[in-house]
Structure 1
Amino acid sequence: MNQFISRLTRPTLATLLILLGGGLAAPRVEAQALLPYTLPLDEERLTATGLSLAQEAAQLAQFQQYDEALARIQLAAQLAPQDPQILTLMGSLYLQVGDSSTAVTTLEKAKVLKADDPVIWFTLGSAYFSEAKYLQAANALEKGLSFEPSNPGAHFDLGNAYYKLNRYPKAIEHYEAAVRYDEMFWPAINNIGLVFYEMGQAESAIEQWERSLDVAQEEPEPTLAIAVANYAANMNRPAAIESATAALERDSRYANLEFLEENLWGNRLLGATEALFDTPGLQDVLSGL
Structure 2
Amino acid sequence: MPKHQRLFTILVCLGLWGQGVPAFAQALLPYSPKLDSEKIEQQGLELAEDAIQLVRFQQPEAALSRAKLSTQLAPGHFQTWFILGTLYIQQEEFDAGIDALNRALALEPKEAGIFFTLGSAYFQRGDYQTAIAQIDKGLKLKPDNPAALFDLGNSYYKLQKYPKAVEAYQKAVSVDKKFWPAINNMGLIKYEQGDLAGAIKQWQAAVAIDKEQAEPQLALAVATYAQGRQQEGLKMAEAALTLDSRYADLKFLQENLWGERLLSATKTLLQTPQMQAVIARLQAASSDSQQ
Question: Which interval holds the TM-score relative to the shorter structure?
Answer: 0.7 to 0.9
In structure 2, distance between residues paired with 1:190 and 1:49: 43
Report what 2:151 is aligned to: 157
Report what 1:61 is aligned to: 55
Report what 2:261 is aligned to: 268
1:163-242 equivalence runs, <5 A: 163-233=157-227, 235-242=228-235
CA contact (8 A) 1:19 1:45 kept: no
| Identity score, percent | 46
Report what 1:81 is aligned to: 75
Provide the aligned length of Structure 1 versus Structure 2: 273
* TM-score in terms of structure 2 length: 0.85
* Match 2:137 to one of 140, 143, 165: 143
User: How many angstroms does 1:46 deviate by?
Assistant: 2.5
In structure 2, distance between residues paired with 1:40 and 1:64: 38
In structure 1, distance between residues paired with 2:265 and 2:23: 83
Residue 46 of structure 2 aligns to which amino acid in structure 1?
Answer: S
In structure 1, distance between residues paired with 2:46 and 2:269: 53
Residue 161 of structure 1 aligns to which amino acid in structure 2?
Answer: S
In structure 1, distance between residues paired with 2:243 and 2:100: 38
Spell out, residue by residue over 1:150-209, the C-alpha distance to the aligned partner (whole angstroms, 9 max, x if none).
111111111111111111111111111111111111111111101111222221111100
In structure 2, distance between residues paired with 1:46 and 1:215: 47
Report what 1:282 is aligned to: 275
CA contact (8 A) 1:91 1:103 kept: yes
Report what 2:91 is aligned to: 97
Question: 1:34 and 1:175, CA in 2 relative to 1: closer, same or farther beyond 3 A?
Answer: same
Report what 1:17 is aligned to: 12
Residue 51 of structure 1 aligns to which amino acid in structure 2?
Answer: L
* TM-score in terms of structure 1 length: 0.86
Structure 1: state its 5+ residue gaps: 1-7, 21-25
CA RMSD of aligned residues (A): 2.7
User: How many angstroms does 1:86 deviate by?
Assistant: 0.9
CA contact (8 A) 1:161 1:171 kept: yes
Residue 69 of structure 1 aligns to which amino acid in structure 2?
Answer: A
Spell out, residue by residue over 1:22-76, the C-alpha distance to the aligned partner (whole angstroms, 9 max, x if none).
xxxx9995xx997999775543333222112112112222222221111111001
